[in-house]
Amino acid sequence: MLHVGDRMRVDGNPYRTIWRDGGEVRIIDQTRLPHEFVILSLKNLTDAAIAIKDMKVRGAPLIGVTAAYGLALAMRRDPSDAGLAAASAELLATRPTAVNLAWALAAMKHRLQSLPPSARYDAALAGAGELAEIDIAQCAAIGRHGLDLIRAIAEKKGGPVNILTHCNAGWLATVDWGTATAPIYKAHDAGIDIRVFVDETRPRNQGASLTAWELAHENIPHRVIVDNAGGHLMQRGAIDLVIVGTDRTTATGDVCNKIGTYLKALAAHDNGVPFYVAAPSSSIDFSLEDASQIPIEERSEREVTHVRGLTEDGRVETIRLTPKASPAANPAFDVTPARLVSGLITERGVLEPNKLALATAFPERVRDRDDSGSSRSKTTNAIDAKELELDLREEPVATFSHTGRGGKS
């Protein structure tokens, strides 16, 4: 069901990206946006897996919640131990990069494994619902902490705050609020004059198709720009702040996000523009310190060679952009080193992008190393139930000066 208190609106009506409707789960088909608004029903495990793989749902937090609901749907048909293992494996294989997928599935398996099969379906539905609420709470908290950054710039500048985004880390990438957009929505609600520059984000154009669609429905001033315009705008002093999302952040603060993020970070660093990453703890992989070990998804070359759009006579069509004889490469993500990141906006405050700051803010996600020096950090396959308990205090547990690394003083 939808909740009247949900923040995001479509034509004035409250929506989440995913919700239960009786024995089915409903989603917004994001492959049809921005020209068509279509609701899909997920009736079984296969529907959920296809929705994730085909990017009908996308964004690391939403992928995790969708997988949780997919596991619940699987428990309705086969709640046995073998059914639980098979469903988890099928969902885990859909998208390899976003760590929220493994995090959510591990949390669900932990909850279900000790229960008799007859109790697993109801428990799985409840668990998926709790993960959805956790995601909303995390994003709202990220919005509060990010609002402080925007407000400080507005007070110092005495004029509109110009923010650059990349890809879609908006409410469409989560259950509600979004990660990178949460501070933007909070600032807009607070009456701060903000202007958003939206990277189109080739090849799937999530910025042009999704972020712009969101901002238009919120009446937030914005402009869509081509991906390569960001550096130019920073050189001209037209950008005050960059906020992006993350699909997987390592325990040492390196950030894996949509392809092109690294180039924006380089440009921001060169021009003294603060570059922040909105990172819920569910997107932080505390078991991984070496970013080179992150699996980078290679998607279909058709996403590069073809584009979908609206014709002048109102038809939605897909056309080829490139010569038929020209193959294409399509890595979906890149890694931004922590040294280029001004800070990580988490639900527990704005943190330095390093191992100590992350471990201090999220001690329950980290274990001590043993005497041999080998890591005993919890992996995404061994999440303790207590890790789902959020600390969303108003005062962050770890912060730093926001005019330091990569920022304008």
Q: Measured between alpha carbons, how far is 283 from 5 in angstroms, rounded to an integer?
A: 25
Residue 263: count other Cβ atoms within 10 Å of its Cβ.
16
Element (H, E) at 19: strand 18-21
Check if the beta carbon of residue 184 is closer than 8 Å to that of residue 220. yes
Q: Measured between alpha carbons, how far is 36 from 310 in angstroms, rounded to an integer?
A: 10
Terminus-to-terminus CA distance in the chain, angstroms?
47
Residue 213: count other Cβ atoms within 10 Å of its Cβ.
21
- Any catalytic annotation for residue 247? yes
CB burial readout 60-70, b (16+ within 10 A) else e: bbbbbbbbbbb
Strands 248-250 and 255-258 turn out to be antiparallel
Q: Measured between alpha carbons, how far is 368 from 210 in angstroms, rounded to an integer?
A: 41
Per DSSP, the three-state class of 223 is strand
**Ordered alpha helix ranges (H), 193-348:** 206, 212-217, 230-235, 261-271, 302-305
Per DSSP, the three-state class of 286 is coil
Helix 182-189 / helix 117-157 crossing angle, nearest 10 deg? 60
Kindly state the tokens that stand for 153: 């710039």
Choosing from 247, 254, 285, 334, which is the catalytic residue? 247
Q: Measured between alpha carbons, how far is 107 from 131 in angstroms, rounded to an integer?
A: 9
Among candidate residues 300, 303, 242, 302, the one with its CA nearest the CA of residue 273: 242
Burial-class residue 347 by CB neighbours within 10 Å (0-12, 13-18, 19+). Answer: buried
* Residues classed as catalytic: 247
